[in-house]
Structures are given as structure tokens and as C-alpha cells.
Structure 1
Amino acid sequence: MKILIIDDNADDQALARRELEGIGHAVLAASNGIKGLELFRQERPDVVITDISVAGMDGFSLAEEIQALAAPRWQPLLFLSAQGDGALQARALQIGADAYVVKPVMATVVGPRLDVLQRLVGLQQMESQAGDCESRHRAEEAENGIARRMMQRLVRGIELDDPAVRHWIRPAADFSGAIVAAQRTPAGVIHILLADGNGTGLAASINALPVLAPFYRMTEKGYGVDAIARELNARIKDFLPGDRFVAVTLASIDLRERVIGVWNGGNPEPLLVGAQGYRTLARRHVPLGVRADDEFDDTLDMHGFTDGSQLYLYSDGLIEAENPEGEAFGVDRLVGELTNMPAAERFGAITAAVNRYVGTAPARDDISLLMVECRAPTEPMRLPAEAAYAFAPAKAGGGWRAALRLSAAQIMVIDVVPLLLGLADQFELVRHNTDRLFVVLSELYNNALDHGLLRLDSSLKLNPDGMEAYLNERQARLATLVDGEIELELEQMTGPGAGWLRVSCRDSGAGFDHGYLDPVADAMNALPFGRGLMLLRAMCAELGFNAAGNHVTATLQLTRGDETCPRRL
């Protein structure tokens, strides 16, 4: 131990130093009370041995000063005296001394008492360290609580409320690098995201954060998941260090058209499970943050689905989860749980099976699972004129017109519908009708592209796996498109307290036969094509085609009322 001796008698001090150093202690010495206090402040010795009568300050006052400096820590203290006065001993013990020693200091007498004090000092140090650890733990818990609340506010999809979506996360640490999110586009297409930042804990969680805000914002504006994947890759490249990346699976589920588009970068292959078995959606990309933008591949894997199928996305932590023997859960065990259970019980069966398999041991990696019920909507396609949407307030403002013409090269790379939607959203009347405008623009533009420029035949959709064949053919023809133009025009027209938006779409193709669109033919709802334009008939105040079918005009009523839409500005 480190021992401070305060004694103004040089011979007694030298003897005490020799005896104590002889039994392994480090000794500091002071010849008066003032120097003793200064040494105590500087060195904080384990034990203080002071003469009752010391130059510059009496021993009792010195002891009280030392104890005040040491508080709240207990300071072991021994008094020295040339005489064994009982009254002095009593007073020394009353002010907190641990022992009273009659000079001269001898190792055989003081040593055993110091051994006892050393054990007590050790216990005090252990208690202090435990208290420090507890304080640090409480501080870290408080900081983690703040961080968790911030993460939960940032990860707004932590409680997904879409009735078609279920999710489960079992983190490997206090913070999770696994993030799941779901959002619907203005047209009702479900976008889902499963992200898994490399590593575990807070660092992995921070790695995954840059994907959330662009995912929600771009989905709300109607961008496709291919454009979202490209934007997320750019964000991660800008935001994270070069050795950081994020494994991400993005998927769009169009329940009306019964088609799924998947971009999978670095996660295990999603599984599409139906009554007839399962399919692995096998196309793979590298994780986000690895490729530069000019090297990035945003190609989607397109798949049709039968009504009642379920799409499962999961992280590698699920199939790599180990039991106590070190064996991985594996894809085969996952597929077995999925295919041996009724649809309603599959999700719960997987989570229960993984929990049983891993047991109570902490997982080595974050485990995440996301499931979407791929069930076509049961409501009729046609929207009731009054209940389908809310009208804008009856203050029309002024009219305006905007037009955009795209060449074949631009059509291949520009997501034009969100672009025009962002422009129209600047005008108050249209802002209250962006969901309807998104549907109108999407249907008119896709119809012009698919049938006007790409010359796709909708009857392809009638064959088994027809939607998948149709979309694959669409991708192939679009990749080789060299000629053609599509022009879109938006024109807001106003009257007294009334407003309309006319959307015009013209393509350079040969047009198509629109005569089959019978507005009273309910049977059309059973076909896998033509339903979009039928939806426009129900949604718009007017829908008209030129004779060739390559110029379509749709008029949206923006305000409630019976006014007749004017023909031009």
C-alpha cells in the first residue's frame, strides 16, 4: 500500500519508513501538518499514520482535515504517540482513527493492523469500482434510451400498419441493423423494403438509416422501386465510409395486376409461396453502396402471382441462425416450415421455429423477416363518383398549362410520372387530387408506351404465367427502343368557383383499338387487361380517344359542383 507518515521527529520518521518499507509498503513522509496535507492532496495515499503532536498543527485537527478531503471515501488513519495515554486513545478513536500505536513503529506490531486495513481498502476499492460501473451503466442506458427513441422516430416503419404486411425482427444487440418498411404508392401499389446494415449494434443501425427517408418520399411520389434502388445506392455511397454497405431487398406488389417486381442486393433470395408450392426469386445484385452510379444495375426481377400467395423477404441472419450445437437454421428448414403450414399459420410458424432453434442464447446476427399477403382487392374496380375521393376547396385560382415531350432515349431512363406529379403538386387545386392524378398519368403513359411504342399485345396476359411473360417482354423491348415519342400535357381550367385538370397523352405509335372498352361491361373486370382504362372512365369527368387511339384526353374535376368543363383555356 501507499502510506503517508507525518512526524516531526526525524529519527522516529526514519525508523517508521524503514520498518514499513521492509514489509513491502511504499512510504511518503512529511515533517509537519501543512506538508502532510499537501502530500495527501497530491498522492492520495491508502493509509495515513500521523503523530498526535506534530509541528504546525495538532494531530487531531490534521486528522479531521484529512478525513474532510477524503470524504465520502473512508480514509484509514493511525495515530502515533510516545505515550500510551488512555484519554488520548479514546479521543483518537472518537474522531475516526482506526488504531492507536505507541512509538516506536515496529513492523511486527503495525504489520498485522495494516494487513487488516489493506483488506478493507481493497473491499472499498471494489465497492467504488462497482459503483462506478453501475453509474456508467445507468448513464449508458440513459444514452441508449435517447438513441433508441431517436431511432424509432427515424425508422417510422418500425410499426408497420399495412394490413397486408407482417414483420419480425430479433436483434443481435441493443440496436439493430435490420430495418423493415412498407408504404403504398398513390395508385395503391405496395412497396416494401428489408435492409440489413453490415455488422451489428448501433453502427449497423446507423449504416441502414440513409435508406429510409428516400424510400418513403419516393414511394409517396409514385417512383418505381428501380428508381428508388438507384437513389438509395447514391445516398449510401455519399453518406457512409467506403467500407460500409447495406444489403437491401426492395419489392413492389401490384395487387390489382397481380405482379411483383423485386430488386435484391445482397440479401437471400425472396420466396413466393402459394397453394401449389413455392418459387425462389433468384436474381441477385450486389449490396447498396458498392457500385458507383454509372455501374449500378437497377433491373427488376418481375413475377406474376396467383391470388392468395405470400411473399417472404428475410435477412441472412435468419438462415444463418445457429442452435447450441452450432448448426445453421438453413433454407431447407425455412422452406419446410413455409410449405407444411396453412397460409394463415406460416408466419407465426417461422418465428416460433427460429426461436426454438436458437433458444435463449443471443443471436450472432440480426434476424429479420417480412411477409406480404398477395391477395387481389375484393372491391369492384369502378370507384363511386362521390366516395372515391375528396374534392379540393372551391377556390379555383388561375389556369395554367405544361407540356413535356420525351424521346426514346429519355423514355428509357426518366420516371416521368413522379416528375409531372411534382410539378402539378405546386398548384393548390391539384394538390388535393394527387392520388387521382397519379393514377391517370400512370395509366395513360403506360398505355402509350406499352401499346403505342412497344406494340405489346395484352392477350399475352391470358396465358399461364402471362403477366410475367408480358412484363419480361416489356423489359426486353424497352431496352432496345430507338425511335418514338410520348408527349404529355397538363392543363388546368377554371370557372367561377370551379376547376378541372385536363391530361392529354399522345404517342408516335400506330395507336390501338379502344372500341372494346365498354363502360357498362362488368365482365371486363375479369380480364387481366383493360382494367386501367376502365378505372379512368369511372374516375374522370371525361375520357376521350382520337380515331387511331394514340391520343387520349382525360379530364379530372377538381372541385365539387355541376359546372361544365370549358374546352380550352
Structure 2
Amino acid sequence: MKILLVDDSLEDREQAQRELSRRGHEVICADNGGRALELYRKSRPDVVITDIYMPGMDGFALTQAIQEVAAPQWQPVIFLSGHRDEALQVKALKIGADAFAAKPISGALLDARLVVIQRLLTLQRQSQQRADELERYYAGEERDKKIARHLIERLVNAEKLNDPAVRHWVAPTTTFSGDLVAAARTPGGTLHLLLADGTGHGLSASINVLPITAPFYAMTEKGFGIDAIARELNDKVRQFLPPDRFVAATIASVDFRENIVRVWNGGNPEPLILNPAGHAQHVFESRHVPLGILDDAEFEAHIEAQSFVDGDQFICFSDGLLEAMNGDGHGFGLERLASSLVNSTPEGRLEGVMAGVREHLGDRQAHDDISLLVVTCNSRQFPTQSSSGAGTAAAPSHQNGTWRFALRLSAIELREIDVVPLLLDLVAKFRSTREVSGQLFMVLAELFNNALDHGLLALDSRLKLGADGMSAYLAERERRLALLEEGEIEFSIEKLVATGKAWLCVACEDSGPGFDHLAVMSKLDSPDDKPFGRGLGLVRSLGSSCEFNAKGNGIRVLLDLANVAGTQ
């Protein structure tokens, strides 16, 4: 070991140095406390052996100074003294001495004490090495977490949760949450929601939900329905995650124009529609298994639909909310949730549930991630859009910068293809149409739904009347579509230009019998609170012109484009 020997007596110092050197130790000598402290700072010896009484800085003062320099590490100090005063020894031990050795030094006795000290120093070094390794590991973990957190935030696209209709709460049990909440609008203004709960907790659970974020946003942006989105997300979970990993998910759409909530729920607790007082007006069943369990052939994409009135709220949550356990082993449960909802205002409903959960938990940490989405259902949340109303400067014509495509779909394709996103994706390839993508989506959706529901399936909109009317209507639509053997729908979309102006011409024709469009269009301006019959009015408000063929099974709508007649 490296030993700092401090003694003002030359004779005692040389005798001690010989004893220590003979036993293989490296010895550094000092004749006073000041010089010893200087040497200590430079050489950092393993052990300090010092006399007590020295001129200037004595052994007590030197030991205190050395311990301050060495802190927080342990620095062994042995005191040398010709005195055997017990009080002196107690004082030395209190200020940081580890052992006492009598003068003149007994080599064998001192050596035994040094062996013990060396053993303790070895343990200290090993402990410090482990502490350093843990510190490096922790620093690396923090760097990895920072990168992972940045990546997850980017993939989750958290800024889209700033939608004015949406409020949310996510409370992870660790740094990373296995629960995911996401929200985005379709081109037509319908709000899509995703609340996903990955298997497990922490980073691994957070990774479980990542494969479903990008397709959720991409398909919503293209206008796909939540049934198609659910099927795609199921495929992504099966494609990317191990067989023992799955994702419980609630996928919902809130149509603020039609006042309808549609839900696909797989493995999460049952979502609710609340009235302004906080009472459940409708409970959506948990019909499906979580994403990633069934293959595509077995997967069931059936959705449940329910109408709402302005002022209602839609809420969905993960099982972590209900299972949050207090010190008595009781979960938060549906009863406490219902109490929190009823005892809070619509504006403070999210905070009311949060406060209820925190009061229930006390100072305990929930054992599972908690997530909650609250959506205010109000028709004012629908982004109203209207046409420019500008008259045509000249008749539209086919000239440079124009294009046209048509798509005819038979019964087989109508059963299998989500038509509106397909058309929207084709039109989006042309730069000049991007400013009207929202209007175009709504026009395409209305024209297609009218052609399919009424032209080919002969559905009666009066089925939508009543508390469960929308669910009954959609169930009958699904049944008739599955049985459809004949019938066609043809879309054509073209860009027309005239001097300084451009239009998008959207035409839709079905092979059905048609209807008395003059009678229907004449009633559009009459006030009506029925949950149907508003689609054609919306189409008329969005287009600069809206014309039916004589039979009523074909319609042509012109949408104004910006003054970009020279662009594609």
C-alpha cells in the first residue's frame, strides 16, 4: 500500500519507515501537518499514519483536514502516540481516526492492522466501481429514455390531441406509458379517436402500441372508416409484435354533423355516452377481443353506432382506471367512476375523475397505466365549410391542365373496398385539388352513401328514428350489403378550366331506380330535426352547382378551385 507517514521526530519517522518498507509498502514521509496535507493532495495515499503532537498543525487538525479532502470516500488514519491516555484515544476516534499504534512501532502489530484496513479498502474500491458502473448505466439509461421518449412523442403525434373537442388524461406507472391516446380529424371533419392499452407496463408496453399509431393517423387522414382502421391495426399488431403481445383498443368516430358516435371496442372497458348531468345515456358493448389475437379471416370489424344530442359527452378509458387499487385492496371501480362523473360539471368532468382516482389511491402508486378520453359532443365542433359562391366567368372546358378519371364498381367491389378514401387518394395526386380536400371528402362521402344506401340497398332513412335507430340502420345496411349480388356505382372526377377559373367536377351514378329529386331538394330549406335528409343540403352548400339527371340516379357537383388553371 501507499502510506503517508507524518512525524516531527526524525528518529521515530525513520524507524517507522524502515518497518513499513520492509513489509513492501511505499512510504511517503512528512515532518509536519502542513507538509503532510500538501503531500496528501498530490499523492492520495491508501493510509495515513500520523503522530498526534506536532508543532503547527497537530495530528487532530491534520486528520480533520484530510477527511474533508477525502469526502465522501473513506480515508484510513492511524494515530501514533507514546501516551496511553484513554480520553486521548476517544478524541482521536471521534474526529476520524481508525486505529491507535504505540511508539515505538511494533511491526507485527501495525502490519495486522494494515491487513484489516487493506481488506476494507478493497471492499470500498469494489463498491465504488459498482457505483461508477451503476452511474454509467443510469446515465446511459437516461440517454436511451430521452431518445425513446422523443421518438414515441413524434410517432404518437401528441399535438393532434389539442383538438378543441378532446380532453385526455394519461397517468403512467413508470416513465413510459403502455396506454396510448390519439385523435385526428378526417378530411370531412369527423373526429377519430384511439385509446390503446398495450400488454405489460413501461417501455416494452409503450413499444407494443407504436405499430398502430402511424396507420391510425394515415388512414384517418385519407378518410377511412374505423372498421377498416381496426382491421389494419389488427394486422399491424400481428405483423410486428411477438405472439404473446396484444393491444386492447377502443377506436371511435364522432360525427358532429350527423350527431353519431361509432365505436369498435376490443378488450377495453365499455365506453359511455353521458348526458350533461353525467348519467350514462348509452353503454357501448365490449364486443371484440384485443388487436393482434385473431388473423384477418377471423377478425370481426363490426362497429356499434349511437346518436347523441348537443351537450352529451363520449368517454372511454383503460382498465387501469377501474383497477386502480387503494391501500385496502379495493379498485376504483364503476361505482366510484359513476359518482365522479355525476358530481362534476361537464367542463370539469375530466378533472373530477382525476381527483376521484387520486383521492382513492391516496399516496399509493397505481399498479397499471391509466388513460381517459372525454369528448364534448356538440354540432358546433363540425368545421363548417362553404363554397365560394362565385359565378363562372366562362363555361368550363377541356384544355391544357385538365384531367379526368372514372371508376365503376360492381357489387363485389362495393362489399370489399372502402371507396371514398380510394377516390380521395387518387385526386390528392393533383396539387390543385389539395385546398378543397375537406369539401371533396364530404361530397364524395354523401354521394357514395346515397347511391349505395338508397340507390342499391333501398334503405329507408326512417329506420334511423328512435334511440337505437342508428344502430338498427347500420345493422340492416350491413346485412343488405352482404347479400348484394347486382348493381353498380360509377364515379367520374375531372378538372375543368375556363379563363382564370378552375373547377372540380364530381359525378356519381348508380344503377338503382332513382328518386324524385325535385321534391326532395325543394324541402331542404325547411327546418327539420330528423337524423337524416341533411346530406344533399350539405352537398349543395359546398358546390357552386349541383345537378341531377332526370331519373334521379345520377348527380353532378362542381367545386370551385383556386385560380390555378395552369397547374395539375
Task: Pick the TM interval, shorter chain.
Answer: 0.7 to 0.9
The answer for the alignment partner of 2:517 in structure 1 is 514
The answer for the alignment partner of 1:75 in structure 2 is 46
Listed as ranges, the matches of 1:266-285 within 5 Å are 266-275=267-276, 277-285=280-288
Give the direction of change, closer, same or farther, for the CA distance of 1:58–1:232 in structure 2 (3 Å limit).
closer
**Structure 1: gaps (5+ residues):** 5-48, 62-67, 80-89, 388-395, 564-569
Structure 2: distance between partners of 1:432 and 1:367: 39
Matched, 1:352 2:355: yes
The answer for the alignment partner of 1:111 in structure 2 is 112
The answer for the alignment partner of 1:29 in structure 2 is none
- What secondary structure sits across from 1:433 in the alignment? helix
The residue identity in structure 1 corresponding to 2:491 is L
Structure 2: distance between partners of 1:552 and 1:351: 51
Q: Which segment drifts farther, 513-522 or 303-312?
A: 513-522
Give the direction of change, closer, same or farther, for the CA distance of 1:117–1:439 in structure 2 (3 Å limit).
same
Structure 2: distance between partners of 1:254 and 1:338: 23
The answer for the alignment partner of 1:392 in structure 2 is none
The answer for the alignment partner of 1:414 in structure 2 is 417
How far apart are residue 161 of structure 1 and its match? 0.9
Q: Which segment drifts farther, 421-430 or 441-450?
A: 421-430
How far apart are residue 152 of structure 1 and its match? 1.5
1:46-93 C-alpha deviation (Å, 9 max, x unpaired): xxx9977679999769xxxxxx9xx998635999xxxxxxxxxx9xx9
1:387-433 C-alpha deviation (Å, 9 max, x unpaired): 9xxxxxxxx95222211111112111100111111111111222332
Select which of 442, 445, 451 maps to 1:442: 445
Listed as ranges, the matches of 1:195-274 within 5 Å are 195-274=196-275
Structure 1: distance between partners of 2:43 and 2:473: 80
Structure 1: distance between partners of 2:329 and 2:240: 36
Structure 2: distance between partners of 1:416 and 1:481: 16
How far apart are residue 382 of structure 1 and its match? 7.5
How far apart are residue 496 of structure 1 and its match? 3.6
Matched, 1:363 2:363: no
1:489-536 C-alpha deviation (Å, 9 max, x unpaired): 112222344322211111111112222344685324533222111111
The answer for the alignment partner of 1:19 in structure 2 is none
Listed as ranges, the matches of 1:64-463 within 5 Å are 75-76=46-47, 106=108, 109-119=110-120, 122-123=123-124, 125-127=126-128, 129-157=130-158, 160-275=161-276, 277-377=280-380, 383=386, 385=388, 398-463=401-466
Structure 1: distance between partners of 2:458 and 2:231: 28
Aligned-residue Cα RMSD (Å) equals 3.6
Structure 1: distance between partners of 2:43 and 2:250: 57
How far apart are residue 435 of structure 1 and its match? 1.4
Structure 1: distance between partners of 2:525 and 2:516: 19
1:33-55 C-alpha deviation (Å, 9 max, x unpaired): xxxxxxxxxxxxxxxx9977679
Give the direction of change, closer, same or farther, for the CA distance of 1:542–1:73 in structure 2 (3 Å limit).
farther
**Which 4+ runs in 1 deviate beyond 6 A?**
49-61, 96-104, 378-382
The residue identity in structure 1 corresponding to 2:204 is A
Give the direction of change, closer, same or farther, for the CA distance of 1:400–1:51 in structure 2 (3 Å limit).
farther
The residue identity in structure 2 corresponding to 1:216 is Y
Give the direction of change, closer, same or farther, for the CA distance of 1:236–1:74 in structure 2 (3 Å limit).
farther
Give the direction of change, closer, same or farther, for the CA distance of 1:352–1:346 in structure 2 (3 Å limit).
same
- What secondary structure sits across from 2:508 in the alignment? strand
Give the direction of change, closer, same or farther, for the CA distance of 1:527–1:310 in structure 2 (3 Å limit).
same
The answer for the alignment partner of 2:97 in structure 1 is none
Structure 2: distance between partners of 1:384 and 1:59: 94
Structure 2: distance between partners of 1:310 and 1:441: 28
- What secondary structure sits across from 2:294 in the alignment? coil
Q: Indicate conservation of the 8 Å contact 1:52/1:60, yes or no.
A: no
The answer for the alignment partner of 1:486 in structure 2 is 489
The answer for the alignment partner of 1:547 in structure 2 is 550
Using structure 2 for the length normalisation, give the TM-score: 0.77
| Identity, % of aligned positions | 45
How far apart are residue 358 of structure 1 and its match? 1.2
Select which of 512, 526, 529 maps to 2:529: 526
Give the direction of change, closer, same or farther, for the CA distance of 1:454–1:442 in structure 2 (3 Å limit).
same
Structure 2: distance between partners of 1:314 and 1:175: 18
How far apart are residue 129 of structure 1 and its match? 4.0
Q: Which segment drifts farther, 337-346 or 401-410?
A: 337-346
- What secondary structure sits across from 1:344 in the alignment? coil
How far apart are residue 481 of structure 1 and its match? 1.9
- What secondary structure sits across from 1:294 in the alignment? coil
- What secondary structure sits across from 1:516 in the alignment? helix
1:204-233 C-alpha deviation (Å, 9 max, x unpaired): 001101111111111011010111111111
How far apart are residue 366 of structure 1 and its match? 0.4
- What secondary structure sits across from 1:160 in the alignment? helix
The residue identity in structure 2 corresponding to 1:547 is A
**Structure 2: gaps (5+ residues):** 3-16, 30-38, 51-58, 64-74, 81-100, 391-398
How far apart are residue 130 of structure 1 and its match? 4.0
The residue identity in structure 1 corresponding to 2:502 is G
Q: Indicate conservation of the 8 Å contact 1:499/1:557, yes or no.
A: yes
Structure 1: distance between partners of 2:382 and 2:111: 94
Q: Indicate conservation of the 8 Å contact 1:519/1:534, yes or no.
A: no
1:88-138 C-alpha deviation (Å, 9 max, x unpaired): xx9xx9xx997799998535x432343355445545554554454344333
- What secondary structure sits across from 2:513 in the alignment? coil
- What secondary structure sits across from 1:106 in the alignment? helix
The residue identity in structure 1 corresponding to 2:559 is L
Q: Indicate conservation of the 8 Å contact 2:257/2:382, yes or no.
A: no
Structure 1: distance between partners of 2:77 and 2:324: 58
